[in-house]
Amino acid sequence: MIRRSTLRATALVALAALLPVTACAREADESAFSAGAGGADDPTETGDDGTSEDQDAPVGTIDWVACGSAECAELEVPVDYADPAGDTLTLSISRVPARGDRIGALFVNPGGPGGTAADFAITMGFLLPDDILERFDIVGVDPRGLGASRIDCGGDMTELYGVDYSIDSPEDTAELLAVSQDYIDGCEAGAGDLLPHLGTENVARDIDAVRAAMGDEQLNFLGFSYGSAIGQVLAELFPDRVRAMIIDGIVELGPGGIESAVSQAAGFEVALQAYADDCDADSSCPLGPDAIAAIEELQAAVEEEPIPAQPRDLGPGELSTGLALPLYSEELWPELSDAVADALDGDGTAMVGLADQYIGVADFDVYFAVNCIDFEWPETPDELLAEAVEAADESPHFAEPIVNDYVRCAMWPVAEVPLTPVTGPGAAPILVVSTTNDPATPYEAGVRTAERLESGVLLTYEGDGHTVVGNGVPCVDDIAADYLVDLDVPEDGTTCS
Protein backbone atom coordinates (compact mmCIF):
# COMPACT_ATOMS: atom_id res chain seq x y z
CA MET A 1 0.00 0.00 0.00
CA ILE A 2 2.19 2.78 -1.12
CA ARG A 3 -0.62 4.64 -2.80
CA ARG A 4 1.24 7.75 -1.97
CA SER A 5 -1.35 10.34 -2.67
CA THR A 6 -3.47 12.79 -0.82
CA LEU A 7 -7.05 12.61 0.33
CA ARG A 8 -8.62 15.96 1.20
CA ALA A 9 -11.88 16.46 3.03
CA THR A 10 -13.08 18.78 0.26
CA ALA A 11 -11.97 16.68 -2.70
CA LEU A 12 -10.86 13.09 -3.17
CA VAL A 13 -7.74 13.80 -5.11
CA ALA A 14 -5.50 10.79 -4.56
CA LEU A 15 -4.32 8.59 -1.74
CA ALA A 16 -1.47 6.54 -0.39
CA ALA A 17 -1.69 2.76 -0.78
CA LEU A 18 -3.63 -0.03 0.87
CA LEU A 19 -3.89 -2.18 -1.39
CA PRO A 20 0.32 -1.47 -2.05
CA VAL A 21 3.48 -16.23 -14.32
CA THR A 22 7.03 -16.38 -13.94
CA ALA A 23 8.61 -12.99 -13.61
CA CYS A 24 10.91 -11.92 -16.39
CA ALA A 25 14.58 -11.43 -15.60
CA ARG A 26 14.87 -8.43 -13.26
CA GLU A 27 17.97 -6.38 -12.55
CA ALA A 28 17.34 -4.32 -9.44
CA ASP A 29 20.74 -3.13 -8.29
CA GLU A 30 21.23 0.06 -10.29
CA SER A 31 20.34 3.45 -8.84
CA ALA A 32 18.28 5.95 -10.78
CA PHE A 33 20.83 8.60 -9.77
CA SER A 34 24.02 6.65 -10.44
CA ALA A 35 26.19 8.23 -13.14
CA GLY A 36 26.58 6.00 -16.16
CA ALA A 37 23.78 3.67 -15.14
CA GLY A 38 22.55 3.75 -18.71
CA GLY A 39 19.23 2.51 -19.98
CA ALA A 40 15.97 4.33 -20.33
CA ASP A 41 16.13 6.09 -16.99
CA ASP A 42 19.76 7.25 -16.98
CA PRO A 43 19.55 10.86 -15.76
CA THR A 44 23.15 11.87 -16.42
CA GLU A 45 25.73 12.19 -19.09
CA THR A 46 29.50 12.25 -18.61
CA GLY A 47 31.34 15.54 -19.05
CA ASP A 48 34.89 16.04 -20.31
CA ASP A 49 36.24 15.79 -16.77
CA GLY A 50 34.55 12.44 -16.20
CA THR A 51 31.89 13.82 -13.88
CA SER A 52 28.15 13.64 -14.47
CA GLU A 53 26.19 16.69 -15.57
CA ASP A 54 22.51 17.40 -16.11
CA GLN A 55 21.05 17.10 -19.56
CA ASP A 56 18.86 20.13 -20.32
CA ALA A 57 15.26 19.32 -21.00
CA PRO A 58 14.24 19.89 -24.61
CA VAL A 59 12.47 23.23 -24.89
CA GLY A 60 9.13 23.03 -26.69
CA THR A 61 6.37 25.57 -27.00
CA ILE A 62 3.14 25.81 -25.04
CA ASP A 63 -0.09 27.18 -26.46
CA TRP A 64 -2.63 27.72 -23.68
CA VAL A 65 -6.34 27.42 -24.41
CA ALA A 66 -9.27 28.13 -22.12
CA CYS A 67 -10.75 25.08 -20.38
CA GLY A 68 -13.40 25.93 -17.82
CA SER A 69 -11.95 27.94 -14.96
CA ALA A 70 -8.37 27.24 -16.05
CA GLU A 71 -6.14 27.09 -19.11
CA CYS A 72 -4.91 23.84 -20.65
CA ALA A 73 -2.09 22.82 -22.96
CA GLU A 74 -0.02 19.90 -24.18
CA LEU A 75 3.72 19.47 -24.63
CA GLU A 76 5.72 16.87 -26.50
CA VAL A 77 8.67 15.43 -24.54
CA PRO A 78 11.05 12.54 -25.18
CA VAL A 79 9.96 9.10 -24.06
CA ASP A 80 13.63 8.55 -23.18
CA TYR A 81 15.61 11.63 -22.12
CA ALA A 82 18.82 9.77 -22.96
CA ASP A 83 17.56 9.76 -26.57
CA PRO A 84 16.04 13.23 -27.05
CA ALA A 85 15.70 12.73 -30.81
CA GLY A 86 13.75 9.50 -30.37
CA ASP A 87 10.08 8.80 -29.74
CA THR A 88 7.99 11.37 -27.90
CA LEU A 89 4.91 11.37 -25.70
CA THR A 90 2.37 14.09 -24.96
CA LEU A 91 1.99 15.68 -21.52
CA SER A 92 -1.33 17.15 -20.38
CA ILE A 93 -0.94 20.44 -18.49
CA SER A 94 -3.28 22.90 -16.80
CA ARG A 95 -2.78 26.20 -15.07
CA VAL A 96 -4.76 28.67 -13.04
CA PRO A 97 -3.08 32.00 -13.88
CA ALA A 98 -1.87 34.26 -11.10
CA ARG A 99 -4.48 36.83 -10.10
CA GLY A 100 -1.98 39.63 -9.66
CA ASP A 101 1.75 40.38 -9.91
CA ARG A 102 3.17 37.02 -11.01
CA ILE A 103 6.26 35.60 -9.34
CA GLY A 104 6.27 32.43 -11.42
CA ALA A 105 4.73 28.98 -11.71
CA LEU A 106 3.89 26.86 -8.66
CA PHE A 107 3.86 23.27 -9.88
CA VAL A 108 1.57 21.07 -7.77
CA ASN A 109 1.20 17.30 -7.57
CA PRO A 110 -1.38 15.40 -5.47
CA GLY A 111 0.52 12.13 -5.17
CA GLY A 112 -0.48 8.62 -6.07
CA PRO A 113 1.40 7.62 -8.08
CA GLY A 114 -1.59 7.94 -10.35
CA GLY A 115 -3.17 11.20 -9.25
CA THR A 116 -3.83 13.64 -12.08
CA ALA A 117 -1.94 16.87 -11.46
CA ALA A 118 -3.81 18.71 -14.21
CA ASP A 119 -7.12 18.28 -12.38
CA PHE A 120 -5.44 18.90 -9.03
CA ALA A 121 -4.10 22.29 -10.10
CA ILE A 122 -7.66 23.45 -10.75
CA THR A 123 -8.75 22.18 -7.32
CA MET A 124 -5.83 23.93 -5.61
CA GLY A 125 -6.81 27.13 -7.41
CA PHE A 126 -9.69 27.20 -4.93
CA LEU A 127 -8.00 25.76 -1.82
CA LEU A 128 -4.65 27.52 -1.51
CA PRO A 129 -4.36 30.78 0.45
CA ASP A 130 -5.16 33.94 -1.50
CA ASP A 131 -1.61 35.25 -1.04
CA ILE A 132 -0.32 32.29 -3.06
CA LEU A 133 -3.02 32.44 -5.73
CA GLU A 134 -2.32 36.16 -6.20
CA ARG A 135 1.35 35.65 -7.06
CA PHE A 136 1.66 32.26 -8.75
CA ASP A 137 0.31 30.40 -11.72
CA ILE A 138 -0.89 27.09 -10.23
CA VAL A 139 0.35 24.50 -12.73
CA GLY A 140 -0.35 20.79 -12.90
CA VAL A 141 1.62 18.49 -15.21
CA ASP A 142 0.04 15.06 -15.50
CA PRO A 143 2.70 12.42 -14.85
CA ARG A 144 3.47 10.35 -17.91
CA GLY A 145 1.02 7.50 -18.23
CA LEU A 146 -1.91 9.82 -17.44
CA GLY A 147 -3.86 12.36 -19.47
CA ALA A 148 -2.77 12.52 -23.10
CA SER A 149 -0.20 9.75 -22.54
CA ARG A 150 -2.55 7.51 -20.56
CA ILE A 151 -1.75 3.82 -20.36
CA ASP A 152 -4.47 1.22 -19.89
CA CYS A 153 -3.83 -2.19 -18.38
CA GLY A 154 -7.47 -3.11 -18.87
CA GLY A 155 -7.86 -4.54 -15.37
CA ASP A 156 -11.01 -4.72 -13.26
CA MET A 157 -9.99 -3.06 -10.00
CA THR A 158 -12.98 -4.43 -8.11
CA GLU A 159 -11.79 -7.92 -9.05
CA LEU A 160 -8.16 -7.15 -8.25
CA TYR A 161 -9.09 -5.83 -4.81
CA GLY A 162 -11.87 -8.31 -4.23
CA VAL A 163 -9.54 -11.18 -3.34
CA ASP A 164 -8.33 -11.95 0.16
CA TYR A 165 -4.98 -10.24 0.85
CA SER A 166 -4.73 -11.77 4.34
CA ILE A 167 -3.41 -15.13 3.22
CA ASP A 168 -4.53 -18.11 5.31
CA SER A 169 -4.77 -20.90 2.73
CA PRO A 170 -3.09 -22.11 -0.49
CA GLU A 171 -6.29 -21.14 -2.29
CA ASP A 172 -5.88 -17.51 -1.15
CA THR A 173 -2.32 -17.49 -2.51
CA ALA A 174 -3.30 -19.04 -5.82
CA GLU A 175 -6.16 -16.57 -6.33
CA LEU A 176 -4.01 -13.53 -5.51
CA LEU A 177 -1.24 -14.61 -7.88
CA ALA A 178 -3.69 -15.46 -10.65
CA VAL A 179 -5.46 -12.08 -10.65
CA SER A 180 -2.10 -10.34 -10.33
CA GLN A 181 -0.65 -12.15 -13.33
CA ASP A 182 -3.72 -11.36 -15.42
CA TYR A 183 -3.31 -7.70 -14.49
CA ILE A 184 0.40 -7.68 -15.35
CA ASP A 185 -0.31 -9.31 -18.71
CA GLY A 186 -2.77 -6.50 -19.41
CA CYS A 187 -0.14 -3.89 -18.55
CA GLU A 188 2.36 -5.43 -20.93
CA ALA A 189 -0.22 -5.45 -23.68
CA GLY A 190 -1.64 -2.00 -22.94
CA ALA A 191 1.51 0.00 -22.14
CA GLY A 192 4.16 -1.94 -24.02
CA ASP A 193 7.39 -0.05 -24.65
CA LEU A 194 6.38 2.86 -22.40
CA LEU A 195 6.49 0.78 -19.19
CA PRO A 196 10.27 1.18 -18.57
CA HIS A 197 10.02 4.98 -18.88
CA LEU A 198 7.36 5.80 -16.26
CA GLY A 199 9.57 6.21 -13.19
CA THR A 200 9.74 9.31 -11.02
CA GLU A 201 13.01 10.58 -12.44
CA ASN A 202 11.39 10.98 -15.85
CA VAL A 203 8.35 12.66 -14.25
CA ALA A 204 10.68 15.22 -12.67
CA ARG A 205 12.36 15.84 -16.02
CA ASP A 206 8.94 16.37 -17.60
CA ILE A 207 8.15 19.12 -15.08
CA ASP A 208 11.46 20.79 -15.82
CA ALA A 209 10.67 20.62 -19.54
CA VAL A 210 7.38 22.45 -18.90
CA ARG A 211 9.23 25.06 -16.82
CA ALA A 212 11.58 25.69 -19.72
CA ALA A 213 8.73 25.84 -22.25
CA MET A 214 6.96 28.42 -20.04
CA GLY A 215 10.08 30.60 -20.18
CA ASP A 216 10.76 30.56 -16.43
CA GLU A 217 14.33 30.32 -15.17
CA GLN A 218 13.23 28.68 -11.92
CA LEU A 219 10.26 26.75 -10.63
CA ASN A 220 8.32 26.50 -7.38
CA PHE A 221 6.94 23.14 -6.29
CA LEU A 222 4.25 21.90 -3.87
CA GLY A 223 4.05 18.11 -3.72
CA PHE A 224 1.86 15.96 -1.51
CA SER A 225 2.62 12.36 -0.52
CA TYR A 226 4.12 10.64 -3.59
CA GLY A 227 4.46 14.18 -4.94
CA SER A 228 7.13 14.63 -2.26
CA ALA A 229 9.22 12.02 -4.07
CA ILE A 230 8.93 14.02 -7.29
CA GLY A 231 10.05 17.11 -5.39
CA GLN A 232 13.07 15.38 -3.91
CA VAL A 233 14.15 14.14 -7.34
CA LEU A 234 13.71 17.64 -8.80
CA ALA A 235 15.96 19.01 -6.05
CA GLU A 236 18.59 16.37 -6.77
CA LEU A 237 18.59 16.77 -10.54
CA PHE A 238 18.03 20.52 -10.83
CA PRO A 239 18.95 22.23 -7.53
CA ASP A 240 19.70 25.57 -9.19
CA ARG A 241 16.32 25.62 -10.95
CA VAL A 242 14.27 25.39 -7.75
CA ARG A 243 13.28 28.74 -6.24
CA ALA A 244 11.09 27.30 -3.46
CA MET A 245 9.75 23.85 -2.59
CA ILE A 246 7.23 22.47 -0.10
CA ILE A 247 6.80 18.72 0.28
CA ASP A 248 3.99 17.47 2.53
CA GLY A 249 3.41 13.86 3.63
CA ILE A 250 6.85 12.47 2.96
CA VAL A 251 7.76 9.45 0.89
CA GLU A 252 11.21 8.56 2.12
CA LEU A 253 13.68 7.66 -0.61
CA GLY A 254 16.24 4.99 0.16
CA PRO A 255 14.33 2.22 1.96
CA GLY A 256 13.25 -0.70 -0.20
CA GLY A 257 9.66 -1.34 -1.13
CA ILE A 258 9.02 -3.86 1.64
CA GLU A 259 10.50 -1.60 4.31
CA SER A 260 8.34 1.29 3.11
CA ALA A 261 5.20 -0.85 3.01
CA VAL A 262 5.84 -2.20 6.52
CA SER A 263 6.36 1.34 7.79
CA GLN A 264 3.13 2.42 6.17
CA ALA A 265 1.23 -0.46 7.76
CA ALA A 266 2.49 0.74 11.13
CA GLY A 267 1.24 4.23 10.29
CA PHE A 268 -2.23 2.90 9.56
CA GLU A 269 -2.21 1.04 12.88
CA VAL A 270 -1.47 4.33 14.66
CA ALA A 271 -4.28 6.03 12.74
CA LEU A 272 -6.69 3.19 13.52
CA GLN A 273 -5.92 3.46 17.23
CA ALA A 274 -6.44 7.23 17.12
CA TYR A 275 -9.82 6.65 15.48
CA ALA A 276 -10.73 3.96 18.02
CA ASP A 277 -9.76 6.14 20.99
CA ASP A 278 -11.98 8.90 19.66
CA CYS A 279 -14.88 6.50 19.08
CA ASP A 280 -14.55 4.86 22.49
CA ALA A 281 -14.69 8.26 24.19
CA ASP A 282 -17.83 9.28 22.29
CA SER A 283 -21.08 7.86 23.66
CA SER A 284 -22.75 8.36 20.27
CA CYS A 285 -20.24 6.18 18.39
CA PRO A 286 -21.99 2.93 17.44
CA LEU A 287 -18.81 0.87 17.91
CA GLY A 288 -18.06 1.98 21.47
CA PRO A 289 -16.88 1.22 24.00
CA ASP A 290 -14.38 -0.99 22.08
CA ALA A 291 -14.11 -0.02 18.42
CA ILE A 292 -11.07 -2.22 17.76
CA ALA A 293 -12.93 -5.28 19.00
CA ALA A 294 -15.88 -4.44 16.73
CA ILE A 295 -13.58 -4.13 13.70
CA GLU A 296 -11.86 -7.41 14.55
CA GLU A 297 -15.27 -9.08 14.87
CA LEU A 298 -16.12 -7.89 11.37
CA GLN A 299 -12.78 -9.05 9.99
CA ALA A 300 -13.36 -12.51 11.41
CA ALA A 301 -16.92 -12.60 10.06
CA VAL A 302 -15.97 -11.86 6.43
CA GLU A 303 -13.26 -14.52 6.59
CA GLU A 304 -16.02 -17.03 7.31
CA GLU A 305 -18.42 -15.84 4.59
CA PRO A 306 -19.18 -12.64 2.66
CA ILE A 307 -21.75 -10.23 4.07
CA PRO A 308 -24.62 -9.28 1.72
CA ALA A 309 -24.14 -5.86 0.11
CA GLN A 310 -24.70 -3.84 -3.04
CA PRO A 311 -23.39 -3.79 -5.75
CA ARG A 312 -21.48 -6.88 -4.55
CA ASP A 313 -21.01 -8.71 -1.28
CA LEU A 314 -18.50 -7.57 1.34
CA GLY A 315 -15.52 -9.91 1.55
CA PRO A 316 -12.01 -9.60 3.07
CA GLY A 317 -10.67 -7.65 0.09
CA GLU A 318 -13.40 -5.04 0.15
CA LEU A 319 -13.13 -4.72 3.92
CA SER A 320 -9.37 -4.12 4.00
CA THR A 321 -9.76 -1.47 1.30
CA GLY A 322 -12.76 0.19 2.89
CA LEU A 323 -11.14 0.34 6.34
CA ALA A 324 -8.19 2.30 4.99
CA LEU A 325 -10.02 5.12 3.24
CA PRO A 326 -11.57 6.91 6.28
CA LEU A 327 -8.24 6.89 8.13
CA TYR A 328 -6.89 9.49 5.73
CA SER A 329 -9.12 12.19 7.19
CA GLU A 330 -10.62 12.67 10.65
CA GLU A 331 -13.76 14.03 8.97
CA LEU A 332 -14.44 10.56 7.55
CA TRP A 333 -14.30 8.73 10.89
CA PRO A 334 -18.09 8.82 11.39
CA GLU A 335 -18.54 7.12 8.02
CA LEU A 336 -16.21 4.34 9.14
CA SER A 337 -18.17 3.82 12.35
CA ASP A 338 -21.48 3.62 10.51
CA ALA A 339 -20.11 1.28 7.83
CA VAL A 340 -18.71 -1.17 10.39
CA ALA A 341 -21.91 -1.06 12.45
CA ASP A 342 -24.07 -1.68 9.37
CA ALA A 343 -21.90 -4.59 8.30
CA LEU A 344 -22.12 -6.19 11.73
CA ASP A 345 -25.90 -5.86 11.38
CA GLY A 346 -25.75 -7.76 8.10
CA ASP A 347 -25.54 -5.00 5.47
CA GLY A 348 -22.09 -4.42 3.97
CA THR A 349 -23.18 -1.84 1.38
CA ALA A 350 -21.64 1.18 3.11
CA MET A 351 -18.28 -0.55 3.53
CA VAL A 352 -18.25 -1.67 -0.11
CA GLY A 353 -19.00 1.95 -0.98
CA LEU A 354 -15.93 3.11 0.94
CA ALA A 355 -13.83 0.52 -0.87
CA ASP A 356 -15.12 1.68 -4.24
CA GLN A 357 -14.35 5.32 -3.37
CA TYR A 358 -10.76 4.30 -2.64
CA ILE A 359 -10.48 2.28 -5.84
CA GLY A 360 -11.83 5.18 -7.89
CA VAL A 361 -9.52 7.88 -6.54
CA ALA A 362 -6.45 7.40 -8.73
CA ASP A 363 -4.98 5.42 -11.60
CA PHE A 364 -3.67 2.06 -10.41
CA ASP A 365 -1.91 1.34 -13.69
CA VAL A 366 0.49 4.26 -13.21
CA TYR A 367 0.64 3.49 -9.49
CA PHE A 368 2.12 0.05 -10.04
CA ALA A 369 4.23 1.05 -13.02
CA VAL A 370 5.98 3.73 -10.94
CA ASN A 371 6.32 1.88 -7.62
CA CYS A 372 7.61 -1.30 -9.25
CA ILE A 373 10.38 0.75 -10.94
CA ASP A 374 11.22 3.20 -8.14
CA PHE A 375 11.73 0.69 -5.30
CA GLU A 376 13.60 -2.55 -4.80
CA TRP A 377 11.36 -5.60 -4.32
CA PRO A 378 11.84 -9.29 -3.48
CA GLU A 379 12.72 -11.48 -6.42
CA THR A 380 9.81 -13.89 -5.96
CA PRO A 381 6.20 -13.70 -4.77
CA ASP A 382 6.90 -16.26 -2.04
CA GLU A 383 9.56 -14.01 -0.50
CA LEU A 384 7.18 -11.06 -0.46
CA LEU A 385 4.29 -13.03 1.04
CA ALA A 386 6.60 -14.27 3.80
CA GLU A 387 7.60 -10.68 4.62
CA ALA A 388 3.92 -9.80 4.99
CA VAL A 389 3.32 -12.59 7.50
CA GLU A 390 6.26 -11.40 9.58
CA ALA A 391 5.07 -7.79 9.50
CA ALA A 392 1.63 -8.82 10.76
CA ASP A 393 3.09 -9.42 14.22
CA GLU A 394 3.49 -5.65 14.63
CA SER A 395 0.63 -4.44 12.42
CA PRO A 396 -2.10 -7.10 12.63
CA HIS A 397 -4.89 -5.14 10.93
CA PHE A 398 -3.01 -3.79 7.91
CA ALA A 399 0.34 -5.48 7.27
CA GLU A 400 -0.81 -8.31 5.01
CA PRO A 401 -3.19 -6.25 2.85
CA ILE A 402 -0.60 -3.50 2.43
CA VAL A 403 2.50 -5.61 1.82
CA ASN A 404 0.79 -8.29 -0.27
CA ASP A 405 -0.59 -5.63 -2.59
CA TYR A 406 2.96 -5.33 -3.94
CA VAL A 407 3.23 -8.97 -4.91
CA ARG A 408 2.76 -7.60 -8.42
CA CYS A 409 6.12 -5.82 -8.13
CA ALA A 410 7.79 -9.17 -7.45
CA MET A 411 6.26 -10.32 -10.75
CA TRP A 412 6.70 -7.11 -12.75
CA PRO A 413 8.19 -7.46 -16.26
CA VAL A 414 10.32 -4.28 -16.14
CA ALA A 415 13.65 -3.96 -14.34
CA GLU A 416 13.77 -1.87 -11.18
CA VAL A 417 15.85 1.31 -11.03
CA PRO A 418 15.48 2.12 -7.32
CA LEU A 419 15.56 5.73 -6.19
CA THR A 420 18.34 6.48 -3.74
CA PRO A 421 18.41 8.92 -0.82
CA VAL A 422 18.38 12.56 -1.89
CA THR A 423 20.42 15.36 -0.31
CA GLY A 424 19.72 18.12 -2.86
CA PRO A 425 23.12 19.81 -2.62
CA GLY A 426 22.89 23.48 -3.50
CA ALA A 427 19.09 23.59 -3.54
CA ALA A 428 17.10 26.45 -2.04
CA PRO A 429 15.52 25.76 1.38
CA ILE A 430 13.04 22.88 1.14
CA LEU A 431 10.11 23.03 3.56
CA VAL A 432 9.32 19.49 4.76
CA VAL A 433 5.85 19.21 6.30
CA SER A 434 5.06 16.10 8.35
CA THR A 435 1.95 15.23 10.39
CA THR A 436 2.34 13.33 13.65
CA ASN A 437 -0.57 10.91 13.06
CA ASP A 438 -0.37 10.61 9.29
CA PRO A 439 -1.53 7.07 8.41
CA ALA A 440 0.03 6.78 4.96
CA THR A 441 3.36 8.59 5.24
CA PRO A 442 4.56 8.26 8.82
CA TYR A 443 5.82 11.34 10.64
CA GLU A 444 9.31 9.94 11.21
CA ALA A 445 9.88 9.69 7.45
CA GLY A 446 9.51 13.45 7.26
CA VAL A 447 11.91 13.98 10.15
CA ARG A 448 14.59 11.80 8.56
CA THR A 449 14.11 13.38 5.14
CA ALA A 450 14.43 16.92 6.50
CA GLU A 451 17.63 15.92 8.25
CA ARG A 452 19.07 14.29 5.15
CA LEU A 453 18.31 17.18 2.78
CA GLU A 454 21.14 19.72 2.94
CA SER A 455 18.60 22.56 2.94
CA GLY A 456 15.70 20.73 4.62
CA VAL A 457 13.54 22.63 7.12
CA LEU A 458 11.05 20.59 9.17
CA LEU A 459 7.54 21.86 9.90
CA THR A 460 5.62 19.54 12.23
CA TYR A 461 1.82 19.49 12.27
CA GLU A 462 0.48 17.89 15.44
CA GLY A 463 -2.72 16.27 14.24
CA ASP A 464 -4.40 13.47 12.31
CA GLY A 465 -4.81 12.85 8.62
CA HIS A 466 -2.72 12.65 5.48
CA THR A 467 -1.14 16.00 4.48
CA VAL A 468 -2.19 19.44 5.67
CA VAL A 469 -1.09 22.34 3.44
CA GLY A 470 -4.15 24.00 1.92
CA ASN A 471 -6.50 22.25 4.34
CA GLY A 472 -7.37 25.44 6.20
CA VAL A 473 -4.98 25.17 9.18
CA PRO A 474 -3.98 28.84 9.61
CA CYS A 475 -0.58 28.21 11.19
CA VAL A 476 0.50 25.89 8.36
CA ASP A 477 -0.99 27.91 5.51
CA ASP A 478 0.46 31.19 6.78
CA ILE A 479 3.94 29.66 6.92
CA ALA A 480 3.52 28.16 3.45
CA ALA A 481 2.38 31.49 1.98
CA ASP A 482 5.16 33.51 3.62
CA TYR A 483 7.73 31.03 2.38
CA LEU A 484 6.48 30.78 -1.21
CA VAL A 485 5.79 34.48 -1.70
CA ASP A 486 8.56 36.17 0.32
CA LEU A 487 11.01 33.26 0.76
CA ASP A 488 10.57 33.72 4.51
CA VAL A 489 11.90 30.39 5.81
CA PRO A 490 10.51 29.24 9.19
CA GLU A 491 12.79 28.06 11.94
CA ASP A 492 13.69 24.40 11.54
CA GLY A 493 11.54 22.33 13.91
CA THR A 494 8.59 24.74 13.98
CA THR A 495 5.38 23.07 15.21
CA CYS A 496 1.76 23.82 14.34
CA SER A 497 -1.29 22.18 15.89
Whether residue 438 lies in the annotated active site: yes
242 neighbors 235 (Cβ within 8 angstroms): yes
Angle at 478 between CA 472 and CA 483, to 5 degrees: 130
220 burial class (0-12, 13-18, 19+ CB within 10 angstroms)?
A: buried
77 neighbors 112 (Cβ within 8 angstroms): no
In this structure, the number of other CB atoms found within 10 A of the CB of residue 278 comes to 17
Q: Hey, which bits of 7-110 come out as E strands?
A: 44-46, 52-54, 65-67, 70-78, 88-96, 104-109
| AA identity, residue 146 | L
Alpha-carbon distance of 339 to 336, in angstroms, equals 5
Alpha-carbon distance of 17 to 34, in angstroms, equals 28
Helix orientation angle between 200-214 and 226-237, rounded to the nearest 10 degrees = 70
**In sequence order, what are the beta bridge partners of 111?**
5
Per-residue exposure over 299-330, b if at least 16 CB sit within 10 Å of its own CB, e if not: bebbeeebbebeebbbbbbbbbbbbbbbbbbb
472 neighbors 9 (Cβ within 8 angstroms): no
Per-residue exposure over 369-398, b if at least 16 CB sit within 10 Å of its own CB, e if not: bbbbbbbbbbeebeebbebbeebbeebebb
Alpha-carbon distance of 223 to 347, in angstroms, equals 39
430 burial class (0-12, 13-18, 19+ CB within 10 angstroms)?
A: buried
Measure the CA dihedral 346/329/145/78, to 10°: -170
- Selecting among 92, 225, 263, 320, the annotated active-site residue is 225
- Selecting among 137, 172, 438, 477, the annotated active-site residue is 438
Active site residues: 225, 438, 466
